[in-house]
Amino acid sequence: MKTYIVTGASGMVGSRIVQDLCRNKSNMVIAIDRNEPRTKLPNVYYLQEDFLSVNLVGEISKICDCVDYIIHLAAVTDLEGCSLDHYDFNYLSILKVKEISDLFSVKKVIFSSTQLVKNIWVEIDAPPLTLYGESKRIAEFLISSLLPNNAVIVRLTTVWGEGHNQHYDRFIHYLKRGFYFHTGTSPIFKSYSYIGNCAHQIINMCQNDKLNVETNVFYICDPEPIEIRKYVDDICVQIGAKRPMTLPRSLSKLLAVVGDVLNKIGINFPFNSYRFKNIVCSYIYENQALDEMVGDLPYTYESAMEEYGLWLRTKK
C-alpha cells in the first residue's frame, strides 16, 4: 500500500489527482484543503484544514505513521494581490512540507509551481511579471534548498478541462455571448495541459523510479502544443457557439489600450494590454525527458476536447 498526501485537493488539479489515485484500491489518500471537496470519494481521508494549521501534523498522525508521497498543490494563485504578503502562503507552506516530510519519512515530494516564475513574453530567462510568479520563484528556491534529495518541481502551464476555474468560466461565457474575438491571423502556439494528462504525469512522477530528482524541474504540458485559434474554435463547436470574429492585431492592441484606461478609472473592462500580450505570445516547452519517462498519455487532443465538451454541455 502507498500513502499519498495531496494538498489543494479540492482544486481542479487536486480533485482529478485524488480521483485517479482512488482507482487503485491499494492507495491510501489523505486529501487536505481548507475548502470542502467537490465530490467525496470512498477510501479517502479528507482533512478540511488550512495547510499551515498547527493541528495538521497531529491530524495526519491519527491516520498513518508513514507517508510515501506528498503532492503539494495548495497555493494562492490569483493575480489580484498588491503585495508579496498576499502570496506568502506559497513559500511559507514549504516549511510545513519539510516538517511533514521529515516526520513521516516521505520518499518523494512533488511541488506544484507555475510557468509564471519566468517572463513568458520573452525568450530569455527574465524575472516573473507578477507577484504570484515571484512567490512561486521563492518557493522553488526554498524547496530545492530544504529538500534537495527528494523534491521535484513541476511547473504547470495552462491546464484545461473538467473542473476549470472561474477564469475559464468567464472565457466560456464570452464565447457563448459572442464577446470573444481572435487577435490577428498569425498562428499562435502554446504548450497547454489537459487535466487528465496533467494528473497522469504527476502521479507517474511519484511512482516512477527512473525520475532523477537532480533534474528536478519539469514543465507539465502535453507533447504537442495547441494552436489557439483552432482550440477556441473547437470549444465553440462543442458548446454550440458561433466561431469568433477576427480583429486585426493593430485594432486589438488599440482596444487593449482603451481597456487599460478604463481599468485605471475603475471600470472592469476584460481586455487590456496584459491580456493582449498573453494572447499573442507563443510559448512551447520541450519535455522530452518527461515524455520518455511517462510514456503515452491517456488523452489525445481530440479525445480530450470530446470529454471536455461533454462536461461543458452537462455542467450546471
Residue 202's identity, in one-letter code, is I
User: Rounded mean pLDDT of the chain?
Assistant: 92
Q: Is 191 helix (H, G, I), strand (E, B) or coil?
A: coil
The crossing angle, in degrees rounded to 10, of helices 273-280 and 249-264 is 150
Going by C-alpha positions, the residue among 313, 16, 301, 41 that lies closest to residue 163 is: 16
Phi/psi for 209 (5° steps) reads -75, -15
Give the integer Cα–Cα distance in Å for 17 and 11.
10
| Domain layout of the chain by residue ranges | 2-156, 161-191+222-285+299-316
pLDDT for the residue 124: 63
**How many residues can be counted in the chain?**
316
Q: Rounded to an integer, what distance in angstroms lies between the CA atom of residue 143 and that of residue 169?
A: 33
Task: Give one DSSP letter per residue of 68-97, joined into a string.
Answer: SEEEE------S--SSGGGGTHHHHHHHHH
What's the whole-model pTM score? 0.92
DSSP 8-state assignment for residue 35: S
Q: How far apart are CA 3 and CA 215, in angstroms?
A: 24
Three cell numbers, residue 152: 521535484
Confidence class of residue 210 from pLDDT cuts 50, 70 and 90? low
Distance between alpha carbon 47 and the CA centroid of its chain, in Å?
21
Residue scoring higher pLDDT (1 or 229) = 229
Higher-confidence position of 294 and 191:
191
pLDDT tens sequence across 30-74: 999 999 988 888 889 999 999 999 899 999 999 998 999 999 999
State what percent of residues in the chain have pLDDT above 70. Answer: 97
Confidence of residue 76 (pLDDT cuts 50, 70, 90): very high
The pLDDT value recorded for residue 284 is: 92
Element (DSSP H or E) covering residue 212: none
Angle (nearest 5°) at CA 263 between 260 and 264: 85
The cell for 170 is 468567464
Instruction: Count CA atoms within 13 Å of residue 149 on its CB side.
Output: 5
Q: Please give the pLDDT value at position 44.
A: 93
- 122 vs 12: which has the higher pLDDT: 12
Q: What is the pLDDT of residues 79-129, one digit of tens each?
A: 888 999 999 999 999 999 999 999 999 999 999 999 999 988 776 677 888
CA pair distance 300, 82, nearest whole angstrom: 39
Whether 287 contacts 221, CB under 8 Å: yes
The answer to whether the CB of 71 falls within 8 A of the CB of 150 is no
56-63 helix and 89-103 helix, angle to the nearest 10 degrees? 40
Strand 181-183 versus strand 189-190 pairing type: unpaired
pLDDT of residue 122: 74
In the block, which residue shows the cell 481586455? 271
pLDDT at 209: 72
Contact of 155 with 220, CB cutoff 8 Å: yes
Please say whether the beta carbons of 154 and 112 come within 8 A.
yes
The pLDDT confidence band at residue 214, using thresholds 50, 70 and 90, is low
Could you tell me the pLDDT band of residue 212, with boundaries at 50, 70 and 90?
low
What CATH homologous superfamily does 2-156 map to? NAD(P)-binding Rossmann-like Domain (3.40.50.720)
What would the pLDDT profile of 270-306 be if each residue is shown by its tens digit?
Answer: 899 999 998 999 999 988 888 888 888 999 999 999 9
pLDDT at 40: 87
Average pLDDT estimate for 261-265: 94
How far is the CA of 216 from the CAs of 148, 220, 267, 303, in angstroms? 9, 13, 43, 30
When pLDDT is averaged across residues 250-273 and rounded to a whole number, the result is 93
Given this model, what pLDDT does residue 38 score? 84
Residue type, 289: A
